[in-house]
Structure 1
Amino acid sequence: MTARESRGPIVGLAANLILLTALAATTGISVAGALAGTAYAVVLAVALGTGLRRTGMRALGPANAVTLARATLVGGVVALVVTSFQTPVPLSVLVPLIGVALALDGVDGQVARRTNSTSRLGARFDMEVDAFLILVLSVFVAGPFGWWTIAIGAFRYVFVAASWALPWMNAALPPKFSRKVVAAVQGVVLVVATASLLPDAVSFAAVAGALASLIWSFGRDVLWLWDTEQRRRFAEVRAGVVARRAVARPRTAPAPAGA
């Protein structure tokens, strides 16, 4: 896992394919599920390889290796969720895959800090794996609760798409502990709903509450970004007015010598 840049993504691809083969032999994933899992594995390998080249990293590193292991489990989740569109899948396999993937979310950060191997690539890799897992889970629970649940997983991608059209949304947000809590709640609630641990009515309310908390969190961030942009524009306009007044102000002629 900590081999050269060119080997890390290949190892991940191989691990994904091995997991898919094991799932096909034990749970009987559908052809569509196998294709979806394979497509995910290929995209993951290409994206990770591109990220390594762009950042100039020659090795994957221990923390990114943990994230890659987590991403591999997500590939299995993808295959099972797509299979569930055609036939029921064993929750005894799906839920542990999700649980381990979420548990490892707290491991890669600790490994990065203890080994002094934190990096922008690692942070982005970790975030993308989290976001995609939440999207896949929101699709799975749409079966019993309705397609509105997909909004939980789609929020982050809609935010990114909006930032392409509205550059002011790319500004750095201040760190908020509540944002981390809301993100953690999404994963916990979706896992509980996936495992059917609670009555349907309770799970429905929990998922709806998770979506409401997400709307609040994203709404607050968007409002903060909009307010910051308005302040920036006002400051620019004010600076421009001051500059124009300075240019237009007539200069006082110097007094004659000896006056």
Structure 2
Amino acid sequence: MALIGTYEARLLRPETAAGAGGLAVLLVLLDAATGLGAAGWLAGAVFTVGVWTLLTRALHRSWPPRPFGPANTVTLLRTTLVGGVTALVAESFASGPRTTALVALTAVALVLDAVDGQVARRTGTESALGARFDMEADAFLILVLSVHVALSQGPWVLAIGAMRYVFVAAARTLPWLNGPLPPSTARKTVAALQGVVLLAAATGLLPPVAARLLVLAALAALVWSFGRDIRGLWYVGARGGAPATGTFRHRSAVVRGRADERV
């Protein structure tokens, strides 16, 4: 009985329950405003269960235990918006895009991405869990947006959303890819650029050629950023060489708001 009680308590974390409830409310509002069909509801439900499960597990594995905190609350709100974007993108395959709602939710999510880091630093609540939570929310939003933009620009856009996940998969077989990355303003700028560019392309307000060139430029910048980091990791990890001047000279600290690590 004690084991069952512990398991139920783990499932009933107030933070994750609040997030799941918030996304359910958002899906109802989106249904009333745009008419979500089965595809949208299914995608939203799967997203809710996935986030609930992964976040609950991460909270119970984090040590030492600490309050959820205001910064993670902001990230949870942003994750709820990402769930709404996911539902809208899934529904676009079944019954056409809901551009206005998608753009509105994405814009707010991107703005909040700059807020949670500031909240963490001002309240002294930076944590490895918070950095990872923030990064995963960012990565999934970019993945979903790339799927949406790929409908009009072509499947090559999916490379933007998939690149980080390919990197993570490769790191499982190439241990040197798990090496630490130093803080990099260029990396942060390129990462932030992806969401802004994909949002601009998603609005449909840009001429097709301009949208294509803009997304291509964002993809090129992302390839450069990953290539630069992979080269540095290979030099230090695979070759066992000394860190290059000005690059990979120290282990990075995990900074709340955007982790300075790929994985």
Alpha-carbon RMSD across the aligned residues, in angstroms, is 1.5
Q: Report the counterpart of residue 129 of structure 1 in structure 2.
A: 137
Q: Report the counterpart of residue 37 of structure 1 in structure 2.
A: 44
Q: Is contact 1:51–1:121 with CA below 8 Å preserved after alignment?
A: yes
Gaps of 5+ in 1: 235-259
- Kindly provide the CA deviation profile for residues 23-82 of structure 1, in whole angstroms up to 9, marking residues without a partner as x: 112211120111111110111011111111001435311000000000000000000000
Q: Is contact 1:27–1:89 with CA below 8 Å preserved after alignment?
A: no
Q: Determine the C-alpha separation between the residues in 1 that align with 2:213 and 2:117.
A: 31
Establish whether residue 90 from structure 1 lines up as the match of residue 59 from structure 2: no
- More displaced 10-residue stretch of structure 1: 27-36 or 85-94: 85-94
Q: Report the counterpart of residue 160 of structure 1 in structure 2.
A: 168
Q: Report the counterpart of residue 242 of structure 1 in structure 2.
A: none
Q: 2:147 aligns with which of 116, 119, 139?
A: 139
Task: Specify which structure has the bigger relative contact order, considering alpha-carbon pairs within 8 angstroms and separated by 6 or more residues.
Answer: 2
Q: Determine the C-alpha separation between the residues in 2 that align with 1:39 and 1:90.
A: 20
Shift of 1:92: 1.7
- Residue type at the aligned position of 1:158: V
Q: Determine the C-alpha separation between the residues in 1 that align with 2:104 and 2:233.
A: 38
1:183-194 pair list within 5 angstroms: 183-194=191-202
Q: Determine the C-alpha separation between the residues in 2 that align with 1:80 and 1:39.
A: 13
- Kindly provide the CA deviation profile for residues 68-101 of structure 1, in whole angstroms up to 9, marking residues without a partner as x: 0000000000000000012223322110100000
Q: 1:65 aligns with which of 70, 73, 76?
A: 73
Q: Determine the C-alpha separation between the residues in 2 that align with 1:233 and 1:218.
A: 20
Specify the SS of the correspondent of 2:108: helix
Gaps of 5+ in 2: 1-9, 243-263
Specify the SS of the correspondent of 2:95: coil
Shift of 1:22: 1.2
Specify the SS of the correspondent of 1:126: helix
Q: Report the counterpart of residue 21 of structure 1 in structure 2.
A: 28
Q: Is contact 2:103–2:199 with CA below 8 Å preserved after alignment?
A: yes
Q: Report the counterpart of residue 233 of structure 2 in structure 1.
A: 225
Q: 1:110 aligns with which of 118, 122, 127?
A: 118
Q: Determine the C-alpha separation between the residues in 2 that align with 1:129 and 1:116.
A: 21
Shift of 1:231: 4.2
Establish whether residue 77 from structure 1 lines up as the match of residue 118 from structure 2: no
- Kindly provide the CA deviation profile for residues 236-259 of structure 1, in whole angstroms up to 9, marking residues without a partner as x: xxxxxxxxxxxxxxxxxxxxxxxx
Q: Report the counterpart of residue 107 of structure 2 in structure 1.
A: 99
Q: 2:53 aligns with which of 31, 46, 59?
A: 46
Shift of 1:193: 0.1
Q: Is contact 1:8–1:59 with CA below 8 Å preserved after alignment?
A: no
- Residue type at the aligned position of 1:45: W
Q: Report the counterpart of residue 206 of structure 2 in structure 1.
A: 198
- The number of residues matched between the two structures is 231
Q: Determine the C-alpha separation between the residues in 2 that align with 1:215 and 1:148.
A: 13
Q: 1:55 aligns with which of 58, 62, 77?
A: 62
Q: Determine the C-alpha separation between the residues in 1 that align with 2:66 and 2:181.
A: 30
| % identical aligned pairs | 53
Q: Determine the C-alpha separation between the residues in 1 that align with 2:178 and 2:98.
A: 41
TM-score (norm 1): 0.86
Q: Determine the C-alpha separation between the residues in 1 that align with 2:239 and 2:24.
A: 51
Q: 2:19 aligns with which of 12, 17, 38?
A: 12
Q: Rg larger in 1 or in 2?
A: 1
